[in-house]
Amino acid sequence: MAMSLKQKPVFTGSNTCEIRPMEVYKDHGKVLVAVDCIIFGFDSKALKLLLFKRKVAPLKGHWSLIGAFINNELSLHKAAEKILFETTGLNNIFLEELQTYSKVDRDPGARVISVAFYSLIRLNELDLESVEKYDAHWFDFDQIPPLILDHGQMVQDAILKLRTKAIYNPVVFELLPHEFTIPQLQLIYECIHQKKLDNRNFRKKILAFNFLVKSDKKDKSGSKKGAFLYKFDKEKFKLFVAKGHRFEL
């Protein structure tokens, strides 16, 4: 064996590399693995989180993240994609692994290791039928109800991750419609960083990056005057990065 540890039998078996028939594997850490999804959205006023109400006992009526056990047919990422598709009707959305949750007693029913993923979706593209079928509801960040197990912790971690990620990555565009206004964009950043920004400086800075493309259409939903619509140009952003620049906001 590559590893012959002296202590508990935990690691006595082998390291991961052991390539052997199933008999060798079977004594080791066989556990259940689940995927849980933290789903973020933005409704032009506030950042929201999609939560699900359990319809059956036990814990009927409690709020939780959506999730599922995984089997042998899909990678974790694919499994998360599938869950998201089924609950939101959306494909090709921003989806990234957050981290694992593996406290031994986190699920009283069994040893379950859960891998949390967080995703950013465009509320305007959401399939309402799918959402209703799962008895899901959107919650403001500051009004998140108690969640089962360690889902509350997952949500806190995901929010923190989103905050820090948004500083150096233009992920917020995943939360906005493909066409959006500068004031909308600014509002997202204000929600995420929880402070007011100067609108003149914000405009200047974001437009100086040169990856926003102005259209000649206006969105009048936010004001009487109406605001011009812009698109985020991914290619221009990649070029920007390729030139050695760093995005930061």
Partner DNA sequence: GCAAAAGTGTTATCGCTACACCCATGT
Partner DNA sequence: ACATGGGTGTAGCGATAACACTTTTGC
Closest CB to DNA among residues 155, 175: 175
Residues 190, 241: Cα–Cα separation, whole Å: 24
Cβ density class 44-53: b for 16+ within 10 Å, e for less: bebbbbbbbe
Which partner in DNA, its own copies, none is near 228 (CB below 5 to 8 A by kind)? Answer: DNA
Region 31-60 residues binding its own copies, contact defined as CB under 8 A:
31-36, 52, 54-56, 58-59
Q: Does 198 participate in binding DNA (rule CB under 7 A)?
A: yes
Region 228-247 residues binding DNA, contact defined as CB under 7 A:
228
Name the nearest CA neighbour of 181 among 221, 128, 133: 221
Contact predicate 171/120, CB 8 Å: yes
> Among 137, 161, 163, 203, which residue interacts with DNA (rule: CB under 7 A)?
203
Residues 142, 128: Cα–Cα separation, whole Å: 23
> Among 44, 77, 202, 247, which residue interacts with its own copies (rule: CB under 8 A)?
77
CB of 122 to its own copies, least distance (A): 23
Which partner in its own copies, DNA, none is near 242 (CB below 5 to 8 A by kind)? Answer: none
Q: Does 224 participate in binding DNA (rule CB under 7 A)?
A: yes
Region 164-183 residues binding DNA, contact defined as CB under 7 A:
181-183
Region 155-174 residues binding its own copies, contact defined as CB under 8 A:
168
Contact predicate 62/149, CB 8 Å: no
Angle at 239 between CA 235 and CA 242, to 5 degrees: 135
Which partner in its own copies, DNA, none is near 134 (CB below 5 to 8 A by kind)? Answer: its own copies
Tell how strand 63-64 and strand 66-69 pair up.
unpaired
User: What are 223's strand-pairing partners?
Assistant: none
> What kind and span of H or E run contains 164?
helix 151-168
Region 202-241 residues binding its own copies, contact defined as CB under 8 A:
none
Which partner in its own copies, DNA, none is near 173 (CB below 5 to 8 A by kind)? Answer: none
Block residue for tokens 């004001």: 223
Region 89-128 residues binding its own copies, contact defined as CB under 8 A:
97, 99-100, 102-104, 107-115
Q: Looking at residue 145, what DSSP letter applies?
A: P
Q: Does 195 participate in binding DNA (rule CB under 7 A)?
A: no
Q: Which residues bind to DNA, rule: CB under 7 A?
A: 181-183, 198-201, 203-205, 208, 218, 220, 222-228, 248
